[in-house]
Amino acid sequence: MGAGEQKQEAGSRNQGGEEQGAGEQGRRGEMEDELAGVPTLEEIERHPMDHLLRTERLPHIWCPGCGLGTALSCFTSALMRSGLDLDKVAIVSGIGCTGRVAGYLRLDGFHTTHGRAIPFATGLKLANGDLKVVVFSGDGDLIAIGGNHFIHAARRNMDLTVICVNNFNYGMTGGQMGPTTPTGARTSTSPQGNLEHPFNVPNLAAAAGATYVARWTVLHARRLEKAMHKALLKPGFSVVEVISPCPTLYGRFNRRQYGSDMIEYYHQKAVIRRDAQPWEVDIDLGGEIICGEFVNIERPTFQDRMREKFGELHPSDELGLLHRPPVELESHGTGEGFRVQVPGLGLTRAAARPTAVGGQLRAPISHAKCLESAAGSLEVLLCGFGGQGIILSGKIAGAGAALYDEREVTLTQSYGPESRGGACSTALIISNDPILYPHVTRPCVMAAMSQESYTTYHGHLAEGGVLLIDSDLVEPDPAGSQQVIPIPATRIAEHELGRRIVANIVMLGALTALTEVVSEAGMRKAILERVPKGTEELNMKAFQMGFDYGRGLVGSGRDTDQED
Ligand code: SF4
């Protein structure tokens, strides 16, 4: 083909291309017409309730199979349908797994102290009568520790909506028996079966004066949502009891260890009885769960009576609480925060700016100074988040020191509201002499396995103390004066042993190698005694890996902030 022909050929192709382009454009236009109204991929990935959730706090901390996600989902749907002004809805939670709800909702939310959600909510409502105040909490929080507040708020007919998630035990703190545990049910504190008679929540609420009372299981999602919707719009003290699975604890103790087992149980045993009287709806172990709406009455609320007596009151306006200028946020000198990847989880966590930490280690860390300053006893604090085995680590270290090293030991632990997703700790005093005061005040040795626990506790470390951190989960404070030794405990557990769950034992291994707070032999015996049967080999491997890592730091004299 000659050059002229080639040019002509190219020209016709161009022309064809333009024609094709026009055709292409036309087809695209047609497709766009067809797709009008079809959600985009981004829109599909966005959950319709996303605007109601603090998605930056997700994934949530609840266990697989837990019913709390369904309860929350029903609530968000009910709230949307209610037409309430979301700027005037406040959500108050107490402590427990359910207590986390307040933190996940993009509403004005308050996560209060144990059992005190109702008095807190009462204060909110009295200060600002325009608010719709919802209490969303668990059976332990509302009916045991907060039981008194529950009945008195019902008696007063405070204008509050209470969503009480009943999973028959204290889930967050380890599955202890609660006020709603059915007679005969096993829990961690009633291994032979509960001897007590449980509260019947609808009956308690009705007898105390609630204006609306309903009960549904999470299996009845549509009915549950409707009940929540009604409760939200009902003046006075409205209560919805949500029967919800806790497969991890209550279910496991009672031979229903999967969420699906419990849902199956609800399927078989839940009975809808709209004519049932509240006193007829007790829940017996293995018996029927009567569901329905049991109370829907009118009576003056506490606010109605106040208005009648004193006219319209706006205490928050009078105190100038509602229109205060916004608080200026202060910078704390770390400059812009940054985010650190948490390997394996695909998560990022907010963290302080990193700094050079650590030093050359050439021998196991001496704690002689701490021993001197603490009158012959050594204080140790292990911390992390719930589920990392922090409490077990403390028990192992304590047993190693007390039973095998023959030292005096005390052990205290903090595994409270903060434990799931927050900071929990176990603290030991190890001494050659009798210990007169059991509480740890200035630990010389600390191991922190989560950022939040580090933030909570590192300020307690004695000057010159030694701080081991899980290097993938904790970024130390650049201004901290402590010697910080990063240990990739979670990474070792996950990558070398395939089980993240033994990261605590890896950390114990490193702690033993580096600090010798407990002898190696003592720690090994204690681990074998205390880890669940069948996991001894895995745990001993984890200990060995942590120990070798610690000894490697000692032997090599590596700069400990360059661990990887
Ligand atoms: Fe749910 Fe029980 Fe797990 Fe708590 S412990 S998140 S109630 S399954």
What pLDDT, on a 0 to 100 scale, did the predictor assign at position 481? 67
Q: Ligand 1 pocket: which of 61, 63, 176, 180 to mutate (most atoms <8 Å of CB)? A: 63
* Beta strands 270-272; 176-177: pairing state: unpaired
pLDDT tens string 218-272: 999 999 999 999 999 999 999 999 999 999 999 999 999 899 999 999 999 999 9
| Atom 6 of ligand 1, nearest CA residue | 62
CA of 58 to the centre of ligand 1 (A): 16
pLDDT tens string 421-446: 567 899 999 988 888 888 888 888 89
Establish whether residue 71 lines the binding site of ligand 1, counting it when its CB lies within 6 angstroms of any ligand atom: no
CA of 105 to the centre of ligand 1 (A): 18
Q: State the average pLDDT for the chain.
A: 83
Mean pLDDT within 515-534: 92
| Atom 5 of ligand 1, nearest CA residue | 171
Residue 190: DSSP 8-state: B
Indicate if the pLDDT at residue 343 is higher than 80.
no
DSSP assignments along 154-166, one per residue: HHHT-S-EEEEEE
Residue 358 zone, left/alpha/beta (φ > 0; ψ -120 to 50; rest):
left
Judge contact between 491 and 506, C-beta under 8 A: no
Mean pLDDT within 545-562: 70
What pLDDT, on a 0 to 100 scale, did the predictor assign at position 42? 67
CA of 218 to the centre of ligand 1 (A): 14
CA of 423 to the centre of ligand 1 (A): 17
| pTM of the predicted protein model | 0.60
Q: Tell me phi and psi for residue 59, to 5 degrees.
A: -70, 150
What pLDDT, on a 0 to 100 scale, did the predictor assign at position 478? 77
CA of 55 to the centre of ligand 1 (A): 20
Establish whether residue 68 lines the binding site of ligand 1, counting it when its CB lies within 6 angstroms of any ligand atom: yes
* Beta strands 212-217; 289-296: pairing state: antiparallel
What pLDDT, on a 0 to 100 scale, did the predictor assign at position 554? 73
Relative to the CA of 250, which ligand 1 atom is closest?
2
Establish whether residue 171 lines the binding site of ligand 1, counting it when its CB lies within 6 angstroms of any ligand atom: yes
CA of 63 to the centre of ligand 1 (A): 5
Helix 536-556 with 503-515: angle, nearest 10 deg: 40
Q: Ligand 1 pocket: which of 60, 61, 62 to mutate (most atoms <8 Å of CB)? A: 62
Give the three-state DSSP class for 413: strand
What confidence tier does 23 reach under pLDDT thresholds 50, 70, 90? low
Rounded to whole angstroms, the Cα distance separating 351 from 470 reads 13
Residue 296: both structure tokens together:
């829907």
Rounded to whole angstroms, the Cα distance separating 394 from 538 reads 19
Judge contact between 367 and 378, C-beta under 8 A: yes
Indicate if the pLDDT at residue 335 is higher than 60.
no
* Burial category of 176 from C-beta neighbours within 10 Å (exposed 0-12, middle 13-18, buried 19 and up): middle
